[in-house]
Structure 1
Amino acid sequence: MVRRNTRDPQPPEGTRAAAPTAADRIPAELYFVVSAIFHYLGPAFAVLLFARIEPLGVAWLRILAAGVVFAAWRRPWRRWARANAGEKRAIVGWACVLAIMNTCFYLAIDRLPLGTVAAIEFAGPVLLAAIGVRSPRNVAALVFAVGGVAALADVRLSGSPAGFAFATANMLLFTGYIVIAHRVSRHRQLAGIDGLAMAMLIAAVVALPVGITDALPAFGDAVAIGAAVGVGVTSSVIPYVLDQLAMRRLARATYAVMVALLPATATVIGIAVLGQLPTPVEALGVALVVAGVALHREPG
Structure 2
Amino acid sequence: MAAGNSFRTYSQTMGIAALVGSMASLCIGTSFAKSLFDAVGAQGTTAYRLGFSALLLWCVWRPWRFPLSRRNALAIASYGLCLGLINFLFYMAIRTVPLGLCIAIEFLGPLSLAIFSSRRRIDFLWIGFVALGLYLLIPQSQQDVSAIDPVGVLYAVGAGIFWALYIVFGQRTRNIHPGQATSLGITVAALLVLPFGIAHSGALLLDPSFMIAGLLVAILSSAVPYSLEMISLRSLPRKTMSILLSLEPAMGALAGLVILHEQLTLAQWLAIAFIVSASIGCATTSPAPPVTDIERDKQ
Q: Normalising by the residue count of structure 2, what TM-score does the alignment of the two structures yield?
A: 0.85
Q: Are the equivalent residues in 1 in contact too, given 2:97–2:149 (CA < 8 A)? A: yes
Q: Are the equivalent residues in 1 in contact too, given 2:11–2:235 (CA < 8 A)? A: no
Q: Are the equivalent residues in 2 in contact too, given 1:36–1:265 (CA < 8 A)? A: yes
Change (3 A) 1:216 1:180: same
Hey, what's the Cα distance between the residues in 1 that align with 2:124 and 2:231? 26
Hey, what's the Cα distance between the residues in 2 that align with 1:135 and 1:96? 32
Pair 1:151 & 2:136 matched: yes
* Residue matched to 2:258: 272
Read off the aligned partner of 2:238 and give its amino acid letter.
R
Change (3 A) 1:84 1:197: same
* Residue matched to 1:56: 43
Change (3 A) 1:24 1:295: closer
Hey, what's the Cα distance between the residues in 2 that align with 1:220 and 1:208? 13
Q: Are the equivalent residues in 2 in contact too, given 1:250–1:298 (CA < 8 A)? A: no
**Displacement, 1:294?**
1.3
Q: Are the equivalent residues in 1 in contact too, given 2:134–2:271 (CA < 8 A)? A: yes
Matches within 5 A, 1:1-300: 27-79=14-66, 82-153=67-138, 155=140, 156-157=142-143, 158-187=147-176, 191-296=177-282, 297-300=285-288
Post-superposition CA distance 1:103-134 (Å, at most 9, x none)? 11111112122222211121111122223334
Hey, what's the Cα distance between the residues in 2 that align with 1:29 and 1:181? 16
Hey, what's the Cα distance between the residues in 2 that align with 1:19 and 1:92? 21
Q: Are the equivalent residues in 1 in contact too, given 2:44–2:205 (CA < 8 A)? A: no
**Displacement, 1:242?**
0.8
Hey, what's the Cα distance between the residues in 1 that align with 2:116 and 2:239? 7
Hey, what's the Cα distance between the residues in 2 that align with 1:127 and 1:272? 31
Ranges in structure 1 where 5+ consecutive residues have no aligned partner: 1-17
Q: Are the equivalent residues in 2 in contact too, given 1:114–1:270 (CA < 8 A)? A: no
Q: Are the equivalent residues in 2 in contact too, given 1:134–1:299 (CA < 8 A)? A: no
Change (3 A) 1:232 1:20: closer
Read off the aligned partner of 2:153 and give its amino acid letter.
F
CA RMSD after TM alignment: 2.3
Change (3 A) 1:169 1:19: closer
Hey, what's the Cα distance between the residues in 2 that align with 1:199 and 1:39? 17
Number of aligned pairs?
277
Change (3 A) 1:52 1:84: same
DSSP 3-state at the match of 1:27: helix
Q: Are the equivalent residues in 2 in contact too, given 1:145–1:260 (CA < 8 A)? A: yes
Change (3 A) 1:71 1:250: same
Q: Normalising by the residue count of structure 1, what TM-score does the alignment of the two structures yield?
A: 0.85
DSSP 3-state at the match of 2:68: coil
Hey, what's the Cα distance between the residues in 1 that align with 2:7 and 2:102? 42
Hey, what's the Cα distance between the residues in 1 that align with 2:21 and 2:103? 16
Change (3 A) 1:256 1:164: same
Hey, what's the Cα distance between the residues in 1 that align with 2:62 and 2:7? 26
Identify which range, 272-281 or 174-183, moves more after superposition.
Answer: 272-281
Identify which range, 162-171 or 132-141, moves more after superposition.
Answer: 132-141
**Displacement, 1:218?**
3.6
Post-superposition CA distance 1:121-160 (Å, at most 9, x none)? 2111112222333434332222111211122136434422
Q: Are the equivalent residues in 1 in contact too, given 2:12–2:236 (CA < 8 A)? A: no
Identify which range, 59-68 or 197-206, moves more after superposition.
Answer: 197-206
Read off the aligned partner of 2:225 and give its amino acid letter.
P
Ranges in structure 2 where 5+ consecutive residues have no aligned partner: 1-5, 289-299
Read off the aligned partner of 1:150 and give its amino acid letter.
Y
Post-superposition CA distance 1:151-199 (Å, at most 9, x none)? 2136434422221111111111111111111221223xxx322111011
